[in-house]
Amino acid sequence: MTALLSTFILLCAILAGPAFAAGDAQRGEALAYTCLGCHGIEGYRNAYPSYRVPKLGGQKSAYLTAAIKAYRDGNRSHPTMAAQATSMTDQELEDIAAFISTLGAATVESGGSENAALEAAQSCTACHGGNGIGVSPTWPTLAGQHEDYLVHALNQYRDGTRKEAVMTQMAAPLTDADVKLLARYYSRLAGLETTLPK
């Protein structure tokens, strides 16, 4: 098991990818008004399937850029996000990500007291940290994310709707119970915030 975990950590390091160019947060503020129409409303829900849109405040700029590009490139499926992303240049994506990443700051705290959930999350910590704060700029922070959104995202990795080599492999063996346990655990950690407009 230790050899498997070591191999996984090495694979994660390789797949972390190149550094992204820094975006201009000031330009991003002017472009992000559409994003805040959903992500800036506390408790705002996606219509179908129904889940709360993800919190982005405190998320890392490089991860946000990669996520938006995944919608644009068809590696993530969501009609509204794909429509928004396809109209943007790489620089605009990076500028928006730079601005949104300034709206809140994920805090580094431990949390979640359920032993079963903590045990289930052990394989997740190599990339997402023991506190749910991603250890690479391109890996998402999970701490404080909406529980129902985390369930939705994990299920997309499980069924192949959301394509990402490491996550697809990690999510494939998860049961429905595992997904619920992990989502509950990470949602109860201190971290991400709704990106409320300034």
Digit-coded pLDDT (tens) for 120-148 = 678 898 899 888 998 899 999 999 999 99
CB-based burial label for 143 (10 Å; 0-12, 13-18, 19+): buried
- The pLDDT of residue 105 is above 90: no
Indicate whether 130 belongs to any domain: yes
Indicate whether 104 belongs to any domain: yes
Mean pLDDT of the chain: 83
Number of domains present in the structure of the chain: 1
- Model-level pTM? 0.76
Indicate whether 111 belongs to any domain: yes
Indicate whether 131 belongs to any domain: yes
Question: CATH number for the domain including 88?
Answer: 1.10.760.10
Indicate whether 48 belongs to any domain: yes
* d(C-alpha 67, C-alpha 75), whole Å: 9
Indicate whether 8 belongs to any domain: no
Indicate whether 198 belongs to any domain: no
Q: If pLDDT is split at 50, 70 and 90, which confidence band does 14 have?
A: very low
**Top-confidence residue, 169 or 18:** 169
pLDDT recorded at residue 145? 95
Domain containing 90 equals 22-187
